[in-house]
A and B are shown apart, each in its own frame.
Chain A
Amino acid sequence: MKKIEAIIRKTKFEEVKEALLNSDINWFEYHDVHGIGQSRQARIYRGVQYSTDVIERVAISIVCRDQFVDPTIQVIITTAQTGEIGDGRIFVSDIIDTYSIRTGEFGDCVLRDKK
């Protein structure tokens, strides 16, 4: 089992969501994240110029069985890509175990993918 975490553009979220549901992922979680980077955006508020370094992105978190890791990553890359700086990052990490609260089952059989 692996956990795939992807930080993507907010504007790409709908596309990525549809693509993931159309592939073999049946559940994932996401949240809004604020990042701080080196790039600054010039803003003006009431005649005062300032720059903001806050970058807003969506983080998607997917836990899946090993055989789905590569296809899922490919889906995210193809749909979330614009080619501009700031498209985001994908991180993959190992998951030691998974439990179903309802049935008490554990192991990757809990992740009932379509296949």
Chain B
Amino acid sequence: MNDISLSLDTVWMLIAAMLVFWMQPGFALCEAGFTRGKNAANILFKNFVDFMFGSLLFWFVGFGFMFGSEGAGFIGAPNWGDLSFYNGDLPVEGFLMFETVFCATAATIVSGAMAERTKFSMYIIYSLFISLIIYPVEGHWTWGGGWLSNSASDSFMMQTFGDVFHDFAGSAIVHSVGGVLALIGAMALGARRGKYAKDGSSRAIPGHSLMLAALGVFILWLGWFGFNPGSQLAASGEVNRTAISHVLLTTNLAASAGGIATMFVTWLKYGKPSFSLMLNGVLAGLVGITAGCDLVSPVGAVVIGLVCGVVLVFAIEFIDHVLHIDDPVGASSVHGVCGILGTLLTGLLSVSNGAFYGHGWGFFGAQCLGILAIDLWAAACGFILFYGIKYLKGLRVDARIEDEGLDVYEHGESCYN
């Protein structure tokens, strides 16, 4: 490859990595806005912790678990901070940065669902495990060249489905894993005090600033323009410049369609369009399109956005009113449900190998197995981790701390003075 092309690809990858990093403040603002002011410093702090520990751990061992070669496609060898094993065209340190911000995105999804009642120290333990092992292992199965993405003709996936699992930028690998862990974390914790009445009916606990939440969602939207188009990992040449443009378009269309769908569903359902749910709807469309943003047509992207935006409203209601799992920001619905949905819809709507375009059900089967394997792994780890912490050390703060706010008791500092 010629030198200028490689430099162009590197610069694009690094810019995209910076944009994906910018999703961290997006998550932080979104989660802080949807929760109460007395816990704002705590939730902002958690978003920093996820990124800081994730950066160190993913550099030191996670990168090796994910992209190392040993382990028969199930797990790579830990690299202990040594990056020399990696032999790709792109500079390995830049590539590590790009993968680090994706790992940190998966890690940071959970804090919103567990907001307002988790011990800070126990949250750090969760945060170590996702960056250390949970994310790198399933990442190895897919982007690391493991068993789900092994396209050799005698591999398990090719023999069974005639196709490999495809997740372009991480609907399954990043978002559904974060969403599943969020759901299990919130389940293990139990609801916030006062969230459910004695008769089991759900109560509203309005967040303290839709201004912050809205800014957070806009920032995430921008960050996604790095998340998805950046995952092409190249910009030079006709194929790549066409691909990143296509991905940018499909990403934006799905986000818009998702927000619009949620707006109209809430308008019909509740009599008024709900702004807070529409914010989630935009994210639902973005999460949904992430798996197939390179394979679906612009129309397909709008379909994915609309489906995710509609399903989101019912998923949030189901998790809240039926399962009685208290997820203050809707992370399990947005990232979990819509991540799974987007991965499956890719199997149907992919122009090159999807079932709706007459290419048979092999690719859809590969998507089903992939999402099942990834999320079962995440769920199993989540169960052991969260219930283990719960019974050994306790996940929750005391009732008094929860009532008066985590900021003062966990950190001695309040967000607003």
Task: Say which one of A9-17, A23-31, A38-46 lies at the interface with B.
Answer: A38-46
Chain B CB within 8 A of A47 CB: yes
**What residue of chain A has the Cβ atom nearest to residue B271's Cβ?**
A44
Q: Which residues of A contact B313 (CB under 8 A)?
A: 47
Chain B CB within 8 A of A101 CB: no
Give the distance in Å from the alpha carbon of A46 to the alpha carbon of B326 in the complex. 12
Whether A46 lies near B203 (C-beta < 8 A) is no
Q: Which residues of B contact A47 (CB under 8 A)?
A: 266, 269-270, 274, 277, 313, 316-317, 320-321
Q: Which residues of chain B (164-186) have a CB below 8 Å from chain A?
A: none
Q: Which residues of A contact B320 (CB under 8 A)?
A: 46-48
Chain B CB within 8 A of A91 CB: no
Residue-wise interface mask of A (35-69) relative to B, using a CB-CB cutoff of 8 A (1 in contact, 0 not): 00000000111111110000000000000000000
Q: Which residues of A contact B202 (CB under 8 A)?
A: 48
Whether A44 lies near B272 (C-beta < 8 A) is yes
Whether A48 lies near B203 (C-beta < 8 A) is yes
**What residue of chain A has the Cβ atom nearest to residue B314's Cβ?**
A47
Give the distance in Å from the alpha carbon of A46 to the alpha carbon of B270 in the complex. 10
**What residue of chain B has the Cβ atom nearest to residue A44's Cβ?**
B270
Give the distance in Å from the alpha carbon of A43 to the alpha carbon of B271 in the complex. 11
Residue-wise interface mask of B (274-285) relative to A, using a CB-CB cutoff of 8 A (1 in contact, 0 not): 101100000000
Q: Which residues of A contact B274 (CB under 8 A)?
A: 44, 46-47
Interface centre among B270, B274, B313, B330 (most CB of A within 10 A): B270
Q: Which residues of B contact A46 (CB under 8 A)?
A: 204, 274, 276-277, 316, 320, 330
Chain A CB within 8 A of B206 CB: yes
Residue-wise interface mask of B (182-222) relative to A, using a CB-CB cutoff of 8 A (1 in contact, 0 not): 00000000000000000000111110000000000000000
Give the distance in Å from the alpha carbon of A89 to the alpha carbon of B317 in the complex. 42
How many contacts between A and B, using CB within 8 angstroms?
34
Give the distance in Å from the alpha carbon of A47 to the alpha carbon of B203 in the complex. 10
Q: Which residues of B contact A44 (CB under 8 A)?
A: 204, 270, 272, 274
Give the distance in Å from the alpha carbon of A48 to the alpha carbon of B194 in the complex. 14
Interface size range of chain B in the complex: 10 to 19
Q: Which residues of A contact B317 (CB under 8 A)?
A: 47
Residue-wise interface mask of B (313-356) relative to A, using a CB-CB cutoff of 8 A (1 in contact, 0 not): 10011001100000000100000000000000000000000000
**Shortest beta-carbon distance, A40 to chain B, in Å?**
13
Give the distance in Å from the alpha carbon of A48 to the alpha carbon of B270 in the complex. 9
**What residue of chain A has the Cβ atom nearest to residue B202's Cβ?**
A48
Q: Which residues of B contact A45 (CB under 8 A)?
A: 204-206, 276
| With A44-B270, A45-B276: A50-B316 Cβ-Cβ less than 8 Å | no
Q: Which residues of chain B (254-281) have a CB below 8 Å from chain A?
A: 266, 269-270, 272, 274, 276-277
**What residue of chain A has the Cβ atom nearest to residue B201's Cβ?**
A48
Give the distance in Å from the alpha carbon of A108 to the alpha carbon of B266 in the complex. 59
**What residue of chain B has the Cβ atom nearest to residue A46's Cβ?**
B276
Q: Which residues of A contact B277 (CB under 8 A)?
A: 46-47
Q: Which residues of A contact B321 (CB under 8 A)?
A: 47
**Shortest beta-carbon distance, A82 to chain B, in Å?**
24
**What residue of chain B has the Cβ atom nearest to residue A51's Cβ?**
B204
Give the distance in Å from the alpha carbon of A46 to the alpha carbon of B321 in the complex. 11
Give the distance in Å from the alpha carbon of A50 to the alpha carbon of B320 in the complex. 14
Interface centre among A47, A48, A49 (most CB of B within 10 A): A47
**Shortest beta-carbon distance, B78 to chain A, in Å?**
41
Q: Which residues of A contact B272 (CB under 8 A)?
A: 44
Interface centre among A43, A44, A48, A49 (most CB of B within 10 A): A48
Give the distance in Å from the alpha carbon of A66 to the alpha carbon of B130 in the complex. 73
Give the distance in Å from the alpha carbon of A110 to the alpha carbon of B203 in the complex. 53
Give the distance in Å from the alpha carbon of A68 to the alpha carbon of B69 in the complex. 89
Give the distance in Å from the alpha carbon of A46 to the alpha carbon of B274 in the complex. 7
Q: Which residues of A contact B204 (CB under 8 A)?
A: 43-46, 48-50
**Shortest beta-carbon distance, A59 to chain B, in Å?**
23
Q: Which residues of chain A (1-22) have a CB below 8 Å from chain B?
A: none
**What residue of chain A has the Cβ atom nearest to residue B313's Cβ?**
A47
Whether A50 lies near B330 (C-beta < 8 A) is no
Give the distance in Å from the alpha carbon of A46 to the alpha carbon of B269 in the complex. 12
Give the distance in Å from the alpha carbon of A45 to the alpha carbon of B34 in the complex. 10
Give the distance in Å from the alpha carbon of A49 to the alpha carbon of B204 in the complex. 7
Give the distance in Å from the alpha carbon of A47 to the alpha carbon of B277 in the complex. 8
**What residue of chain A has the Cβ atom nearest to residue B34's Cβ?**
A46
Give the distance in Å from the alpha carbon of A49 to the alpha carbon of B270 in the complex. 9
Q: Sample 18 A-B pairs with CB under 8 A, ordered by A number.
A: A43-B204, A44-B204, A44-B270, A44-B272, A44-B274, A46-B274, A46-B276, A46-B316, A46-B320, A47-B269, A47-B270, A47-B277, A47-B316, A47-B320, A48-B203, A48-B204, A48-B320, A49-B204
Q: A44-B272, A46-B316 are known contacts; what are 8 more A-B pairs with Cβ within 8 Å?
A: A44-B204, A44-B274, A45-B206, A47-B269, A47-B270, A47-B316, A49-B204, A50-B203
In the A-B complex, the 4 residue pairs with the smallest Cβ-Cβ separation, listed nearest first, are: A45-B204, A50-B204, A48-B204, A44-B270
